Amino acid sequence: MKNRPIGIFDSGLGGLTAVKELLNILPNENIIYFGDTGRVPYGSKSRDTILKYAIQDIEFLKSMNVKMIIAACGTVSSIIGGSNVNIDIPFTGVVEPTAMAASASTKNGKIGIIGTTATIKSGAYKHALKKINSSFNVFEQDCPMFVPLVENGFIKDNDKAALIIAEKYLYSLREKGIDTLILGCTHYPIIKKLISKVMGPTVKLIDSGSETALFAANLLYSLDYISTRNTKGVCSFFVSDTVEGFSKTASLFLGRNINQDVKIVDIDSYTI
């Protein structure tokens, strides 16, 4: 069990922000990453469709004999928590770890949340924060254009189009006087500098990918599931659509070059 890989999935490439952190804190672990690039984004889909996709993604990773699954997707994490999906191996989404980090960060109790439309509509982050401290003032904003911006490379903090969109989404949160902002989608850390530029230096940004990776590592330690290998772990990448350009984009997310082959998965063939 200890030397089995860790499985991570996301609707696209955003979950690679969690992979990046895991590579830093658990360098001897093998990681299998699935990006559902053929059906991205999940955030604009119905709850039933998101659940269907999540189950298929989970079943694919289970077929790869993983020891743990991380749903590095805010949309999936916000939906699956209220479902009766039985995963039967160690599992975490991004909501609980990120909410805990935000609650520890805030000084004035005013916390903002940005995410996909489905994530914000679910209220999952707000519920998790209120469960920690019912006196928190929580403000939510969906940002449906952020994922397409990231997936299409509009990520520089001086990109005029991205700045206009970010200002439109974030203005109301800035005016609320929040001191902590949850990046409730693992795509968003890629435009962290852009978001920080709009929000200002006094607002602490909580990276859902990074916080989830730390939480997952602690869970593996508590279960005594840490790899016993003395060699550096290997990442394997799978997608549901074309592999063209994946290495270039993935290298951007991971902050390092990747040379591995990327394989296409017929994700519709995986069902419970």
State phi, psi for 110 to the nearest 5 degrees.
Answer: -105, 110
Active-site pick, 69, 185, 217, 265: 185
143 is catalytic: no
Which residue type does 64 have?
M
HSE-CB of 116 using CA atoms within 13 angstroms = 27
Active-site pick, 18, 23, 69, 73: 73
73 is catalytic: yes
On whether the CB atoms of residues 263 and 33 are closer than 8 A, the answer is no
Q: Give catalytic residues, as residue numbers.
A: 73, 185
